Structure 1
Amino acid sequence: MTETLQTTAATRSPLSADPRVTRAIELVWQEAELLDRKEYESWQELYTADGYYVIPIDAETEDFANALNMVYDDARMRRMRVARMTEGHAIAAVDAARTVRTVSRFVAAEVSEDAVTLRSAQLLVAYKRGRHDMWAADVTHRVRLSDLGDRIDLKVVRLIDSEETVPAAGFLL
């Protein structure tokens, strides 16, 4: 009976059935690994040239260009952010928190031949100066698939407490 339940769940799961979704999930996990290792130069290479990294204040908005955002980075802004975090001129870069991300609960929202949109949950624990902070978010990644390398076209981090006072984050979510 257990085998039948597992088989039924596996056939319903787009994660095990579609290699495009698997590729997208693996890219999201790679992104988390690079961020936790503070490999920001490599991280920004995961994005398309016209991709966006967004942390909206309003958890319901889809109009990021006309909404208040904690972060709304295109390629230029991502480069500037990475420069601040790697060149040692910003206090956040000098005394950066150590982080561990867990990204899970993947749902394939849209799948086409050349793109996958995933929804997931992310828990991030940051440790700095003897203190742990936890960040929880619903995340959406839109991944462009290519034989030349899959890239993130859009990442939206919807913090569960986005409308509350958010402590300084000297790292990328």
Structure 2
Amino acid sequence: MMDDRNTLFSQQTFTAAVELIWREAELLDRKDYRAWLDLWTPSGFYVVPIDHATTDFASTLNYVFDDQDMREKRVQRMVSGYSASASDAARTVRTVSRFTLTSDAADVVEVNSSQVIVACKRGTTTLFAADLTHRIRFTDGEPRIEQKVIRLIDSNEALNAIGFLL
């Protein structure tokens, strides 16, 4: 009986985590960046490392290593219209799949997945592919992103200004 309850809890938690990740993808494709900010815990980090294998993000060079303050500033630049990348931002469609629960505690889960983003800007279509790791914290049953790591498959190559959130 106890195993059944733990299994049910894990399945419900995993389902809620995947739904949050899909919701995040939808908000980013719609460029609803302010609503995207609401998906995060105050202590969360949004990370795009250069080194695909690194786990010590604070001590290594990253394309992005944003805490709450930096996420808010990034969104402000993107919605203000003053940033060139924001005023001419690419339209995106992202697919997130291959979900794997890698850590399952009472209040925090970690989910690995893959993401493909198709971006269209000025008649040019570009693909971005990445492995994602979301750490999701449940507070009072409500899931929030505590950390998102986007490991671009070409992170060691020169990247053009992307102009949107991954």
Query: One fold, TM greater than 0.5?
Result: yes
Query: Hey, what's the Cα distance between the residues in 1 that align with 2:84 and 2:151?
Result: 25
Query: Hey, what's the Cα distance between the residues in 2 that align with 1:60 and 1:106?
Result: 19
Structure 1: tracts of 5 or more residues without a match: 1-13
- % same residue: 53
Structure 2: tracts of 5 or more residues without a match: 1-6
Specify the code of the residue in structure 2 equivalent to 1:62. T
Tell me by how many angstroms 1:158 deviates.
Answer: 0.2
SS at 1:106 equivalent: strand
Structure 1 segment 127-142 matched on structure 2, within 5 A: 127-142=120-135
Query: Hey, what's the Cα distance between the residues in 1 that align with 2:159 and 2:101?
Result: 29
Task: State yes or no: 1:100 paired with 2:93.
Answer: yes
**Which ranges of 4 or more aligned residues in structure 1 deviate by more than 3 Å?**
none
Query: Which of the residues 25, 28, 36 maps onto 1:35?
Result: 28
Task: State yes or no: 1:125 paired with 2:104.
Answer: no
**1:26-61 C-alpha deviation (Å, 9 max, x unpaired):** 000000000000000000110100000000000000
RMSD between superposed Cα atoms in Å:
1.6
Alignment length (residue pairs): 160
SS at 1:93 equivalent: helix
Structure 1 segment 23-172 matched on structure 2, within 5 A: 23-147=16-140, 149-172=142-165
Query: Hey, what's the Cα distance between the residues in 1 that align with 2:14 and 2:107?
Result: 11
Query: Hey, what's the Cα distance between the residues in 2 that align with 1:168 and 1:79?
Result: 19
More strand by share: 2
Q: TM-score, normalised by structure 2?
A: 0.93
Tell me by how many angstroms 1:147 deviates.
Answer: 2.6
Query: Hey, what's the Cα distance between the residues in 2 that align with 1:130 and 1:89?
Result: 22
